[in-house]
Amino acid sequence: MKKVLMLGGVALALAAAPAVAQEADRTGDIQLKLLGTYVAPDGKITDINVNLPGLPATLQTKANDNVTPTIAVEYFVTNNVSIETIAGMTQHDVDTTAGLPAGAELVSNAKLIPATVTAKYHFDLGGAKPYVGAGPAYFLWVGDKPGAATLPLGVTETNLSNELGLALQAGFDVPVGEKGFGLTVDVKRYFIDTTARWFVGNTLAIETTHKLDPWVISAGIAYRF
């Protein structure tokens, strides 16, 4: 009798296992995230290509940091693999750090959309769920103005080139309760440059290449359904 009961229990357990696995399968889930994001770009000059005003060869720059809201949308291809994109805009000025008086403004109010798609792998540790990811990023500049320090040079227009680059990503999600809500922390490092051009009328007066490579650190709330 004991053997029969044991065999019956094993059979029930085996029969229940597929059902449990099926309930745990979250393939096709969508996760929305509302984030506060800190953007810390580099902005230093790596090349001076055109220099009609004769600016010092030691000229160096830095783009200012900024904080902005961000929305992330994530689709789970499997329980552990997802595809994520973000929506947001950040604004930066570019100021001198060497070669001219520190803080001289070269670019003002440059608005950036960092279009990013990453493939992520999630590790299931029970509570916190860490992940890593990587994917392409396209930096789209939708507005910029000549900085105050360039106006005495006769500069009438400034533009920053849109560029394709790479984003690396790591972070973790922490479910809160059983209704899909959670907390999330995300860190991205982008590898991407831009070319800045200053025009006097129709004449290209200054052209420089800048290393952007921003750190992008986000934290916020998530809802998975």
The yes-or-no verdict on residue 160 having pLDDT over 90 is: yes
At residue 10, the 3 state secondary structure works out as helix
For residue 87, give both structure tokens.
């929506």
Mean pLDDT along residues 108-114: 96
Q: Where are the domains of the chain?
A: 27-224
Q: How far apart are the first and last CA of the chain?
A: 46
Mean pLDDT along residues 90-111: 95
Gap between the Cα atoms of 204 and 178, Å rounded: 59
| pTM more than 0.95 | no
Tokens 């800190």 found at = 38
- Cα 27 to chain centroid distance, Å, stands at 25
Domain 27-224, CATH number (from 2.40.160.20, 3.90.79.10, 2.70.98.90, 3.40.640.10): 2.40.160.20
Gap between the Cα atoms of 217 and 169, Å rounded: 10
The yes-or-no verdict on residue 5 having pLDDT over 70 is: no
Tens of pLDDT, residue by residue over 165-191, are 999 999 999 999 888 999 999 999 999
For residue 22, give both structure tokens.
């099926």
